[in-house]
């Protein structure tokens, strides 16, 4: 099994299982919209005995505004 390490955006630092066949981008549901991450660099841990293969995905954009406080208040 491979894992995706997400970098940047609201899911920064998250590790998620990487489905077979995923190539260059991940589209993740988030609130009312979606987050888009693109693969960056080479996969690591690709050997038989060094743990799960890990791919780094970097945040690109969100399809909707990301606002944790819909009232617009900063506290």
What pLDDT is stored for residue 12 in this prediction? 96
Query: Is residue 69, in this structure, part of any structural domain at all?
Result: no
Query: Is residue 23, in this structure, part of any structural domain at all?
Result: yes
Q: How far apart are CA 22 and CA 75, in angstroms?
A: 39
If pLDDT is split at 50, 70 and 90, which confidence band does 40 have? very high
Query: Is residue 33, in this structure, part of any structural domain at all?
Result: yes
**Full-prediction pTM beyond 0.85?**
no
Query: Is residue 38, in this structure, part of any structural domain at all?
Result: yes
1: closest CA among 45, 56, 57, 60? Answer: 45
46: closest CA among 26, 18, 6, 27? Answer: 18
CB–CB of 37/60 below 8 Å?
A: yes
Query: Is residue 12, in this structure, part of any structural domain at all?
Result: yes
Please count the structural domains in the chain: 1
Q: What number is the average pLDDT over the span 19-31?
A: 88
Domain of 27, in residue numbers: 2-62
If pLDDT is split at 50, 70 and 90, which confidence band does 31 have? confident
């Amino acid at each position: 099994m491979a894992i995706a390490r997400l970098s940047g955006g609201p899911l920064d630092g998250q590790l998620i299982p990487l489905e077979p066949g995923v190539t260059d981008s991940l589209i993740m549901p988030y609130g009312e919209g979606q987050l888009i991450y693109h693969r960056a660099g080479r996969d690591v841990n690709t050997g038989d005995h060094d743990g799960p293969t890990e791919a780094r995905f970097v945040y690109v954009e969100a399809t909707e505004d990301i606002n944790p406080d819909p009232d617009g208040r900063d506290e």
